[in-house]
C-alpha cells in the first residue's frame, strides 16, 4: 500500500481506464516515464491486466528508441517510425531452428495481431506477397500494410541475414512503386521497414531516406 501511495503521488491524476490491479503491475517501476507509457497504452488500447502484464514482460518500453522515449517524456508528437520496437518479437510456437524468409513470413502471418502491435499504432494488414510489375518482371513485396493513423502505406521486407546495402535499394524501389501506383494525393509517402537478423548502423548512417527503417527481429 505504501508503494501504491508513492506511485499515486507521482501521477498528476489517476486514469479512469486503469483499475487498482493495473496500478499494482506498475509498482515495480521507478521511472515515471515508463509508468506513463504503460498507462497511455492501457487507455488507448483498453488493455486488460493480463494484456498489460504481457507487454511489460516483453519489455515493450525498453525496446523503444531513446529519441522516442525523450519525445514521450516531453509529450511531443510522435511519428510512425518512432513507435516501432527494436527488436521486433515474432512468435515461434513450433520452435523452428532453421528459418527461411518464407518461414519467417509464415510465423508473422500466424500471429499478425502481435506483429502489428510490435510496429506501433494504427497498422492494418493488406496482403503478403503483394505482386507488382516493374518493366516486364513481376516482383513480390513480402508484406504490404497501411497505417490509418499516419495515412500511409508501409512496405515490409524480410531478411534472414544481417542488413546489406542492396536491401535498401530493393525496398526503395518498392516504396517508389507504391507511391506512384497506389498512393493518392491525400496520402503521405510510403514508409519502408527492413526486418533483418542483425542491423548495421553504419549502412543506415549513410541511408539518405529517413522513411526507411531497419529493425532486428527475435523469435520467442
pLDDT per position as a tens digit, 184-202:
999 999 999 999 999 887 7
pLDDT per position as a tens digit, 64-118:
999 999 999 999 999 988 999 999 999 998 898 878 999 999 999 999 999 999 9
Whole-number average pLDDT of the chain = 91
Structure-model confidence comparison of residues 217 and 7, the more confident one: 217
Tell me what pLDDT residue 202 has: 72
Contact (Cβ atoms closer than 8 angstroms) between residue 42 and residue 17: yes
Tell me what pLDDT residue 207 has: 75
Mean pLDDT of 39-61: 94
Nearest to 172 by CA among 205, 220, 210, 200: 210
pLDDT per position as a tens digit, 123-170:
999 999 999 999 999 999 999 999 999 999 999 999 999 999 999 999
Nearest to 127 by CA among 85, 84, 180, 182: 182
Give the span between the Cα atoms of 40 and 37, in whole angstroms. 5
Burial label for 74, CB within 10 Å (0-12, 13-18, 19+), is exposed
pLDDT per position as a tens digit, 19-44:
989 999 998 898 999 999 999 999 98
pLDDT band (50, 70, 90) for residue 61: very high
C-alpha cell at 220: 520467442
Fold of 88-219: Trna Endonuclease; Chain: A, domain 1 (3.40.1350)
Tell me what pLDDT residue 94 has: 87
So where are the chain's domains? Answer: 2-62, 88-219
Amino acid at each position: 500500500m505504501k508503494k501504491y501511495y508513492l506511485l499515486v503521488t507521482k501521477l498528476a491524476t489517476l486514469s479512469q481506464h486503469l483499475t487498482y490491479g493495473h496500478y499494482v503491475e506498475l509498482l515495480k517501476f521507478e521511472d515515471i516515464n515508463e509508468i506513463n507509457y504503460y498507462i497511455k497504452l492501457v487507455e488507448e488500447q483498453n488493455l486488460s491486466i493480463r494484456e498489460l502484464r504481457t507487454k511489460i514482460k516483453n519489455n515493450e518500453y525498453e525496446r523503444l528508441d531513446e529519441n522516442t522515449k525523450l519525445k514521450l517524456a516531453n509529450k511531443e508528437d510522435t511519428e510512425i517510425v518512432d513507435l516501432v520496437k527494436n527488436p521486433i518479437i515474432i512468435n515461434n510456437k513450433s520452435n523452428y531452428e532453421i528459418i527461411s524468409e518464407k518461414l519467417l513470413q509464415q510465423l508473422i502471418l500466424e500471429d499478425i495481431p502481435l506483429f502489428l502491435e510490435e510496429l506501433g499504432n494504427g497498422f492494418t494488414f493488406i496482403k503478403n506477397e503483394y505482386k507488382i510489375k516493374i518493366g516486364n518482371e513481376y516482383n513480390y513485396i513480402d508484406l504490404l500494410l497501411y497505417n490509418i493513423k499516419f495515412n500511409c502505406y508501409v512496405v515490409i521486407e524480410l531478411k534472414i541475414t544481417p542488413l546489406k546495402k542492396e536491401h535498401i535499394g530493393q525496398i526503395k524501389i518498392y516504396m517508389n512503386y507504391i507511391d506512384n501506383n497506389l498512393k493518392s494525393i491525400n496520402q503521405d509517402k510510403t514508409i519502408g521497414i527492413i526486418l533483418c537478423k542483425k542491423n548495421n548502423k553504419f549502412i543506415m548512417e549513410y541511408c539518405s531516406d529517413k522513411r526507411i527503417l531497419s529493425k532486428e527481429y527475435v523469435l520467442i
